[in-house]
Amino acid sequence: ELTLQLKKEILPLRSEIQKYRSELRLELTAEKFDEARVKNLVEQISDLSKQIQLKRTMHQRAIRNLLTPDQQQKYDLHLLSGRKIERRRFDDRPRLMRDPDGPRPDRGFRNR
């Protein structure tokens, strides 16, 4: 539930960043270079990125607060290691073992 809330909060910020980056690319290719506009766009992108980072940090702290002391130790070690959490895909078999056409309607999903 917390992760879904975070994603909902970040989505519009990411969209705005994409919009500003597109505008920045257009400015870079324009015949007449507007340095003030470019600085403004870069600042907007930076501000939105800061907001996203702050939301992520607060989210991580909220998650940590829900954990037991043992879980908090593991969580802290993971955060300090700098590695991302690997999520297993639904079908985690090697690619060669999967049916290239996907699940067959007559057989459903296969478990191996």
Per-residue pLDDT tens for 4-33? 999 999 999 999 999 999 999 999 999 999
Q: By C-alpha distance, which of 95, 74, 69, 93 is closest to 85? A: 74
Q: Tokens 């290691």 correspond to what residue?
A: 81
Supply the pTM of this predicted model: 0.68
Please state, for a pLDDT cut of 90, what percent of the chain lies above it.
69
pLDDT class for 104, splitting at 50, 70, 90? low
Per-residue pLDDT tens for 57-66? 999 999 999 9
Q: Which two tokens stand for residue 76?
A: 């802290």
Looking at 1.10.3470, 1.20.120, 3.30.450, 3.10.450, the CATH number of the domain 1-64 comes to 1.20.120
Judged by DSSP in three states, 111 sits in: coil
Per-residue pLDDT tens for 74-84? 999 998 998 77
